[in-house]
A and B are shown apart, each in its own frame.
Chain A
Amino acid sequence: MLVEKIMKKNVITLSSTATVLEALQLLQEHRIRHIPIIDKEKHVIGIVSDRDVRVASPSILDKQANQQVLKKEIREIMSTPVVTIHPLDFVEDIAKIFYEETFACLPVVREGKLVGIVTEKDMLYTLIQLTGTHMPSSHIELKVPHEPGNLASILAVFGKRKLNITSLLIYPDHEDSNYKIVVIRVQTIHPLPVVKDLQTNGFEVIWPKPLQGAEE
């Protein structure tokens, strides 16, 4: 999946000469946590987060000092340089940036100009979409030897029963590196027949678990 699929295109921005007060108002008004700072050519020259604004304000009790801070120009408190990404970057790679770095927002830049923004929250939402349920379906989990051809045989079993697969996930088996865990969501309330087929074909089914009533 590409960044351009998940980025927000309507980006709230400020110029570097705007005041901290303006930033504060924008953050509250739009219920956002980051504002990219751009110049006239839409180049990203910094970024301001709600935390930057909070840190800059010495004390809410100290009215005098507060007033001074709010008049400060954004460029004095903004973070630079800014890590940016490209619309054609892979979402999966962006996840790694979020995991490794401390910031929670990435401006998207094409030909030097700001075209979008991706937050850690957008990223999580995408992952929820990838692993979640969008259609009524049941979950089947298999432990499969890490060898070529296995996935094709598994899918053939589903194909034979004309079952619709709504999502498919494969990840390494942490307990045994010779195996993969394959998670399939399939559009049926009654997965047992296909589970039986899978077992007949020699696949190890982790879920559904065999239960007392299930043997009939």
Chain B
Amino acid sequence: MTCKSSFVYSKNLLNYHFYADHPFNQIRVRLTKELLKSMNQLHEHSIMNPRMATDEELALFHDRTYIEAVKLASKGELPSSKQADFGLNTDDTPVFEGMHDAAALIVGGTLEAIDAVLQNKVSHALNLSGGLHHGFKRKASGFCVYNDAAVGIQYIREKYNMNVLYIDTDAHHGDGVQWAFYEDPHVCTLSIHETGRYLFPGTGYVNERGITKGYGYSFNIPLDAFTQDESFISIYENAFREIIDFFKPDVLITQNGADAHFLDPLTHLNSSMKIYEQIPLLAHQLAHEYCEGRWIALGGGGYDLWRVVPRAWAQIWKVMNDNQPFTGKLPNDWLLKWQKEAPVTLPTYWHDLEEDIPVIPRKEEIMEKNNQMLEHALSYIKTQRNLK
């Protein structure tokens, strides 16, 4: 199986940069791109330039006052008394010069990816700089200024009038996207994440199901800390299959945050690379089964910049193109080049070595609890099915 796909890239996407030691760092996108090039799996003709999203496009989801505030802040002209209101200049989203342009380019990248797929130029498209799922209508949050996923989905609704299934496997709850479409029955969201009892943002409980006409179209499966591969993959497969069969979308958007890994410093799901092979494989398969292939994949979180994210994200592109994840050793030239920059020892293989994966006690209990959450989350589908 070979599928035509587009890879959104421009070095300007790396301008979304808070400061040197900030945990969110788009060097991940470059590392992934170069890794794919070293593997000879990314060709110039597949690379698509992002465009800048217009104010009108940003306003599909964001408040005009917020867009103006971001613009002012980018020039250092937003009074500090107003910054807090918009979640700007906090520890998480400090203001930097050119912030508006950098954030709008990411949104434009997602819009380009959407257009390419929905105008049948390609089957799939990947914007790893996107997936900024915490951005709110009028507030920056959790490293996210503009929410490219929310803008993109609304763009699909208005321009193509299609039903959208959004699948979010970032370790954090996809709150910004969920609340954006909480009342919309044409957009179904599934977020699988570490429980918000401890982790940011705190929401994403199983009984958040949507309101009014959107009731039953938001799904949340909060997983226990230390969930690991087996339980994560089984929950993901079950939930994804049930929900896509219930909703029957026209197009699939995935948010592919890579922060559930045991090396990630911000979270505690403790997965290995295995889930980053399975996540795109199933998305790819179901996109063909239900959406005639229409699949746009986005990036997201991921805070082990060197050892985890490039490997995880390269797999999405590989699977998108020929449905086969990479195996074996990482390319030498890539390792040689980046080991000089990396503060940690880079891995040698695409997979994680068994001896490096932490052993977690209470595995059975955690699995049982996660399965209960899954059942709870899907109970609405089951009742709907029984009614029919």
Residues of chain A whose beta carbon lies under 8 Å from any beta carbon of chain B:
132-133, 135-139, 161-164, 185, 187-193, 207-209, 211-214, 216
Residues of A close to B261: CB separation below 8 A? 213
User: Chain A residues near B134 (CB, 8 Å)?
Assistant: 136, 189
Residue B266 interfacial (CB < 8 Å): yes
Rounded to whole Å, the gap between the CB of A199 and the closest CB of chain B is 15
Contact B263 A188 (CB under 8 A): no
CB-based nearest A residue for B201: A136
Q: Assess the A139–B202 pair: CB atoms within 8 A.
A: yes
Closest 10 CB pairs of A and B: A133-B202, A136-B201, A213-B263, A189-B142, A189-B200, A139-B198, A138-B200, A213-B265, A214-B265, A136-B141
Contact indicator per residue, chain B 173-200, by CB within 8 Å of chain A (1) or not (0)? 0010000000000000000000011111
Residue of B91, B262, B265 with most partner-chain A CB within 10 A: B91
Q: Contact at B200–A136, with CB atoms within 8 Å? A: yes
Task: Decide: A209 near B268, CB < 8 A? Known: A187-B90, A190-B91, A193-B91.
Answer: yes
Q: Which B residues are closer than 8 A to A by beta carbons?
A: 23, 90-92, 134, 141-143, 172, 175, 196-203, 225, 261-266, 268, 270, 304, 343-344, 358
Chain A residues with CB under 8 Å of B198's CB are: 138-139, 207-208
**Which of A190, A208, A209, A212 contacts B92, CB < 8 Å?**
A190
Residue of B nearest to A186 (CB): B200
A189 close to B262 (CB less than 8 A): no
Which one of B91, B203, B263, B344 lies within 8 Å of A162 (CB-CB)?
B91
Q: How many A-B residue pairs have CB under 8 A?
A: 77
B268 contacts which chain A residues (CB < 8 A)?
208-209, 211
How distant is the Cα of A207 from the Cα of B200 in the complex, in angstroms?
A: 13
15 residue pairs from A and B, CB less than 8 Å apart: A135-B202, A138-B198, A164-B90, A188-B91, A189-B142, A189-B172, A190-B23, A190-B92, A191-B200, A192-B265, A207-B198, A209-B268, A212-B262, A212-B263, A216-B344
Q: Which residues of B contact A208 (CB under 8 A)?
A: 198, 268
Which residues of chain A are near B343, meaning CB under 8 Å? 216
* CB closest chain-A residue, reference B89: A162
Query: Contacts A139-B202, A213-B304 given: A133-B265 contact, CB under 8 Å?
Result: no
Name the A residues within 8 Å of B143 (CB-CB): 189-190
A residues within 8 A CB of B201? 133, 136-137, 189
How far is A139 from B203 in the complex, measured between Cα atoms in Å?
12
Candidates B91, B142, B203, B304; contact of A163 at CB < 8 Å: B91
Residues of B close to A216: CB separation below 8 A: 265, 343-344
Residue of B whose beta carbon sits closest to that of A214: B265
Are B262 and A211 in touch, CB under 8 angstroms?
yes
Contact A136 B203 (CB under 8 A): yes
Residue of B nearest to A133 (CB): B202
Which residue on B lies nearest to A162, using beta carbons?
B91
Closest residue of A by beta carbon distance from B173 = A136
